[in-house]
Homo-oligomer: A and B are copies of this chain.
Amino acid sequence: MRADARRNRERILEAAEEVFAVAGPDASTEEVARRAGVAIGTVFRHFPTKADLLRALMKRLLQQVTDDAAELVASGDPAGALFEFVARLVERTAANRAVVNLLAAEGMEVPITGPLGSLSDAVGELLARGQESGAVAARIRLDEVMALLVSACQGALHGGWDADLRRRTLGIMLVGLRPSP
């Protein structure tokens, strides 16, 4: 792929991220092209289908989020890592509607590369470390954490809450993860 093509591909993805972030996946591809400063044909050359574009977007986000998790796994703070991860994800969602879709995506099937094979693996790792360190109750299961993640992120999308309210609410939601004293 030529340099300018790669550059355009990147610009399209960035434009798409912005557009879908505010308008959701129903935003028009034309709008993406406009924002990217390319013709509509160019978008479809890079992503033959609107679904392909969305998929590529998901993949990017998924990679970022999973890398984030991997980093926290390696951070040497097993007790706080899971909580920190959730907090980051929620904040990220508040700024990008697309994030939440990737959590809820069913057949998205976008394999990611790196130390952890998937987002679930990554969160599972964070969960395990948290439990080993005693910061997370042993009774908590991975599916519950994932569901909680989705809920928290979905919530962050709506209501125009400020960062403070988001933080307080999340704090409450996470109490249940800790071991009962």
Q: Which residues of B contact A181 (CB under 8 A)?
A: 180-181
B169, A148: Cβ atoms closer than 8 Å: yes
For A147, give its contact among B26, B144, B159, B176 (CB under 8 Å): B159
Count this chain's copies in the assembly: 4
Mask, A127-157, CB within 8 Å of B = 1, is 0000000000000110110111011101111
A150 vs chain B, min Cβ distance (A): 5
Interface of A is mostly: helix
Question: Quick one: given A104-B158, A104-B159, A106-B160, are A151 and B169 in contact (CB under 8 Å)?
Answer: yes
15 contacts between A and B (CB under 8 A): A103-B159, A104-B159, A143-B165, A144-B165, A144-B168, A144-B172, A148-B172, A150-B154, A150-B158, A154-B155, A154-B158, A171-B176, A172-B173, A175-B175, A176-B176
